[in-house]
Structure 1
Amino acid sequence: MNLSRDVALIAASVAITLLCVRIWTSRRCTRQRNRKRLPHRIIMVRHGQSEGNVNPDLYRDIPDNAMPLTDLGKSQARAAGKEIKEIIGNESVRCIVSPCTRTIETFEEIMVAWGPDAASIPWTEEPRIREQDFGNFQNPEQIRECKIQRKKFGGFFYRFPSGESPADVYDRISSFLESLHRMFMRKREQNYILVAHGVAIRILLMRYFRYTIAEYEEVENFHNGEFVVMEHNGDGVFRITKVIHPHVDPKTFDVTVHEATRVRLNGKSMRKSSLSLSYDNRNLCWDDNPM
């Protein structure tokens, strides 16, 4: 009787062990397969200079989502496109664009670098990477007062009247990343270009690399036309490899390219050497689920 029970227990243990091994092997194979489907690069570009960047009074009558680029902004976008094309070369690319006028115009100018081939590049509008909503028609005096209150309340959590806080942006960016991961599994483009906004890009980096709120608030905003290059190392890990700012002279429209390997931190945080170094030492490991 005892012998039969012992044999049964051993058989059950072996069966459970084999099942666990099979599950582990299956998950490992899935992770390896998913890693192979990840793109080589994710490139995030801030839009070129908009009319609202130059004259905030325009927000009284023009919705934020309808604000167009200036001529300088279009040149910034074309300069960014030229630099991005040099990085990507002839690899395949898919673009995801915020639906605001200034980001769509930026995307169109970036695509000039691809010439006739631009017509065949797939792209989609994605409302979840739009800019932080600062309200409807905006009164510049009211916005200035809100920014004073924001310093007292805390920048990440302060919600503008009829608008959003960066915490709200964080929620929709998190949802977007889940969709982006599924897109990686379905599509096979080698590069993804995201054309977005300053706050949206910083929140994307925060979500990717798990920045704390304090660290997020110490990351400087990106210049118009500046972009971040994240490259995949083949092991399910993305890392920031370049931060490129094609500076366009507003008078001569000459382009000077500035390149760094990490995001800019504000003056206060630059004195914290350990924090300054943390941004290019963290990785995104993207296996079955996005971070």
Structure 2
Amino acid sequence: MRARSDRGAVELMLVRHGESLGNVAASAAGLSGAEVIDVPARDADVDLSPIGYKQAAALGSSFSRLLLSERPDVVWCSPYARARRTAEIIATAAGWTVPVVVDERLRDRELGVLDMLTARGVELRLPEAARPRRWLGKFYYRPPGGESWTDVALRLRSFFSEIAQLSGGQRVLLVGHDALILLFRYLLEGLSEQELLDMAATTTILNASLTRYVRAEGHGPWTLESFNVADHLTEQGVTLTEHGSDADVHPR
């Protein structure tokens, strides 16, 4: 067995940000059949909803019960306000003094010309984008000015190469977005496009949920310990929220 100083990271804790004002606006637009999502700010600046603040605090409170040896050594987060705020609230509620490091590679998928449009809005306002979107599927379709899921996976590979180089058996907490958590599963478990899209079509990553990967030896493959867990919210009487993206993800 390697000495602790020679071990890489031993645990990854992946957290989706708490409910955001953008989540609320997108769900309302979808239910009403609107074409445009009435978001309060550009995507990078959208803050948490009041419920989102409570969700982040509840997760931080649950983390406060971790033993010192179980706590993360570093917290990384997306630069988007909803993720930064979630990370800061978690650290404060947990009583941690670990650094919170912002990394732009953990930002949400860039939507380009599709930004602020519902699925209905894309079909009606941008039929020239809707056709290749349907044909290619979510994995490969890159909207003008935006990213495909493969583009996001590429920057996550770059980020993950740094995680793999961490020494001393560190535990890492990452706060980001639902697409990132699904793509981490794709990367860490070697999923196929079909497996990833099947998961995306049937699974909503809950706000302030926790997904954990471990590797006791600090090297080699990662093992999924838990996925999309939000018991810490229901245990503390905090509202559970499900805000997913368009489930029409397969090529057709």
Q: Report the secondary structure of 1:99's partner residue.
A: coil
Match of 1:73 in 2: 52
Match of 2:82 in 1: 102
> Paired residue for 1:90, among 56, 68, 72?
68
Distance, in Å, in 1 between the alignment partners of 2:179 and 2:163 is 19
Match of 1:10 in 2: none
Q: Report the secondary structure of 1:202's partner residue.
A: helix
Cα deviation digits, residues 201-257 of structure 1 (max 9, x gap): 1111111111111111112231111110112222634211123114757xxx81489
Q: Could you list the runs of 5+ residues in structure 2 that have no partner in the other structure?
A: 27-36, 241-246, 248-252
Distance, in Å, in 2 between the alignment partners of 1:67 and 1:129 is 16
Match of 1:6 in 2: none
> Paired residue for 2:21, among 51, 54, 71?
51
Aligned-residue Cα RMSD (Å) equals: 2.9
> Paired residue for 2:137, among 147, 154, 157?
154
Match of 1:285 in 2: none
| Match status 1:121 vs 2:105 | no
Cα deviation digits, residues 151-203 of structure 1 (max 9, x gap): 33211011123111101101111111112222x13xx3631100010111111
Q: Which has the higher contact order (CA 8 A, sep 6+)?
A: 2
Indicate conservation of the 8 Å contact 1:64/1:137, yes or no.
Answer: no
Distance, in Å, in 1 between the alignment partners of 2:48 and 2:140 is 29
Q: Report the secondary structure of 1:69's partner residue.
A: coil
| Match status 1:229 vs 2:212 | yes
Distance, in Å, in 1 between the alignment partners of 2:196 and 2:114 is 27
> Paired residue for 1:131, among 108, 121, 124?
108
Change (3 A) 1:254 1:205: same
Change (3 A) 1:217 1:176: same
Following TM superposition, by how much is the alpha carbon of 1:141 offset from its aligned partner in structure 2, in angstroms?
Answer: 4.9
- The count of residues paired between Structure 1 and Structure 2 equals 217
Match of 1:176 in 2: 159
Q: Could you list the runs of 5+ residues in structure 1 that have no partner in the other structure?
A: 1-28, 258-265, 267-291
How high is the sequence identity, in percent, across the aligned residues?
A: 24
Change (3 A) 1:239 1:36: farther
Following TM superposition, by how much is the alpha carbon of 1:148 offset from its aligned partner in structure 2, in angstroms?
Answer: 5.3
What are the residue-to-residue correspondences of 1:193-208 with 2, within 5 Å?
193-208=173-188
Following TM superposition, by how much is the alpha carbon of 1:106 offset from its aligned partner in structure 2, in angstroms?
Answer: 0.5
Amino acid at match of 2:7: R
Distance, in Å, in 1 between the alignment partners of 2:232 and 2:209 is 8
Indicate conservation of the 8 Å contact 2:7/2:218, yes or no.
Answer: no
> Paired residue for 2:230, among 223, 245, 250?
245
Cα deviation digits, residues 55-83 of structure 1 (max 9, x gap): 13234x62111110001011111222233
Distance, in Å, in 1 between the alignment partners of 2:77 and 2:63 is 15
Distance, in Å, in 2 between the alignment partners of 1:84 and 1:43 is 11
Cα deviation digits, residues 20-42 of structure 1 (max 9, x gap): xxxxxxxxx9xx45895223321
Change (3 A) 1:98 1:235: closer
Change (3 A) 1:164 1:89: same
Distance, in Å, in 2 between the alignment partners of 1:55 and 1:222 is 17
Q: TM-score, normalised by structure 1?
A: 0.66
Match of 2:198 in 1: 218
